[in-house]
Structure 1
Amino acid sequence: MKEYFINTAKHMLRYHDFPGEDMPILFIHGLGCAGSFDYPEVAAEDSLKSHRCILVDLLGAGYSDKPDDFGYTVEEHAEYLEEFVDYLQLETFILFGHSLGGAVALSLANKCKENIHQIILSESNLDKSSEGAPSKRIASYDMNEFICQGYDKLINRSRESGNEMWAAALSTWSPKAAYLISKSAAEGAEPSWREILYSLECSRTFIYGEYSLPDPDRKNLEEQGVMIEIVKGAGHSMAWENPQGLAKAIKRSIGAIK
């Protein structure tokens, strides 16, 4: 694992940087997840191992610093990632974002459009959080209540429901970080992440897990020229449920624009 001191945020970002000769792919994980937890197996698959794969743990998550003085909004995550992209000298790269990490990816793409060769989103947030979404439930708490009680309850409920992987990854998060990015997701952005996606001139792909379909939004995306890929035998947590299938879906979407 490598680390980078973020000059603007004054804290340490930690990440994996797997070498490869083909175009770099920057992976941004979702709420309660971590790049170091979600994507090593995906990056190691035959479909992607020729690519340089950069797997970040966002501030507040995984092995990265968990400062108490950071705002943790979607936009603030994108701001330091823009600095990180400059540090890595990624002149042209593929940007991948999952779930709420997709909103971060879109905010980042809006800042460095000239560097983005392609954006690939897996079941990304495109609009402010809807009822029933984990981020919406977290944001419904008072912050202190979530930090003191709700965070542990969420981890315990996830374990009891059989979602051990998410409980394990979420347990590495700062409760404050989980709350504040969820609040940001519930409030949405202007322009919206959907509007950013539709405005991008690079190739755009949206990946669904088979078990998440049907989704009425699929038609809207296709009408806007967004390519659709499907990972068989998986739902929302496709990196855990079928890493080989996710890697192949990413590679197919890359191959489609060559």
Structure 2
Amino acid sequence: MSIRDAVVTAAGDRIRWVELPGSDAPRVFLHGLGATAVAHFAEAATHPLIAGHRTLLVDLLGHGLSDRPHDFDYSLESHAGALAAALTDAGVAGAEVVAHSMGGAVAIVLADRHPELVSRLVLVDAGLDPVEPARGAPGSAGIAAYSEAEFADGGWTEVRDRAGAFRWATMRLTDRTALHRSAAGLARGTVPTLRELLARLDVPRTFLHPETDGPPRGEDGLREAGVSVVAVADCGHDIMLDAPETFASLVAAALAA
């Protein structure tokens, strides 16, 4: 295991990742908003059903181990561009990408704009549509409801208190400017929408979601586009943490399909 990095902006900002040695197709794990790859995916990446491939546990700019530039807009497109630069520098091509929440959104844009870098997608409860910002709402919608100045001037403490100790454990490691801009970019989405981008991708795609949430919006359309939609029992949004054995089994099956 090693920590590696790559320069991904003209200003010299670096993305960092934990890399596990292995052979065959490389695998890339991407975290969600305010998270880190190791905290959410270390157990899954080293599970006997999944381990053995070259594996990169990547922290997006502004998060975890990576740099926190304040002249970076943290849009989904910019996150994907920086990630593409890191993977290219690492000599990665045709990666199998497992991505949670916002990481899933970034992975979709990455696969659309840099198809040579992605051979397969496993999306873990990723949002596929823009959301309306609203104070007090969970996730990106609640953070994006503040202006950047409001968030920096104390709004972040309200988000901290609503997030609770578990989520704040990793969210506190995210730069506040990066957290706000990333949330705003995720809430805003892309044009075409992430859902539309996902539907037109020409790689195997799996979408895991918590069974308790009911069928995901537009499930029939996803299936018609060739996306495998899988409900996961006994879990919430953090499927890999709530149901680790089930998650490992489903990811292994998706990567082998």
Which of 68, 91, 105 is equivalent to 2:107?
105
Q: Offset at 1:61?
A: 0.8
Contact 1:19/1:53 (<8 A) preserved:
yes
Offset from partner CA, 1:1-29 (integer Å, 9 cap, x none): 22222243521211111112232111111
Q: Secondary structure at the match of 2:199?
A: helix
RMSD: 1.7
Q: Tell me how far 1:238 sits from its aligned partner.
A: 1.2
Matched AA of 1:234:
C
Q: 1:8 to 1:247 in 2, by over 3 A?
A: farther
State how far apart, in whole Å, the 2-side matches of 1:130 and 1:53 are. Answer: 35
Q: 1:67 and 1:115, CA in 2 relative to 1: closer, same or farther beyond 3 A?
A: closer
CA contact (8 A) 2:7 2:86 kept: no
Contact 1:93 1:118 in 2 (8 A): yes
**What is the aligned-residue identity percentage?**
31
Identify if the C-alpha distance between structure 1 residues 69 and 7 changes in structure 2 by more than 3 Å, giving closer, same or farther. Answer: closer
Aligned to 2:162: 157
Q: Distance in 1 between matches of 2:138 and 2:163?
A: 14
Tell which deviates more after alignment, 32-41 or 219-228: 219-228
CA distance in structure 2 between the aligned counterparts of 1:49 and 1:9, rounded to whole angstroms: 35
Count of equivalent residues: 252
Residues 9, 70 of structure 1: 8 Å contact kept: no
- SS in structure 2 opposite 1:39? helix
Q: Displacement, 1:237?
A: 0.8
Q: 2:43 aligns with which of 36, 41, 44?
A: 41
1:13, 1:58 within 8 Å by CA — same for their partners in 2?
Answer: yes
Mean CA deviation greater in 57-66 or 230-239:
230-239
Q: Does the 8 Å CA contact 2:84/2:117 hold for their aligned counterparts?
A: no
* Structure 1 position 94, deviation (Å): 0.8
Letter in 2 for 1:241: D
Who is 2:242 aligned against? 241
Amino acid at match of 1:147: A
Give the corresponding residue for 1:183. 184
- What is the deviation of 1:133? 4.7
Measure the CA separation in 1 of the matches of 2:208 and 2:214. Answer: 11
TM-score normalised to structure 2 length: 0.91
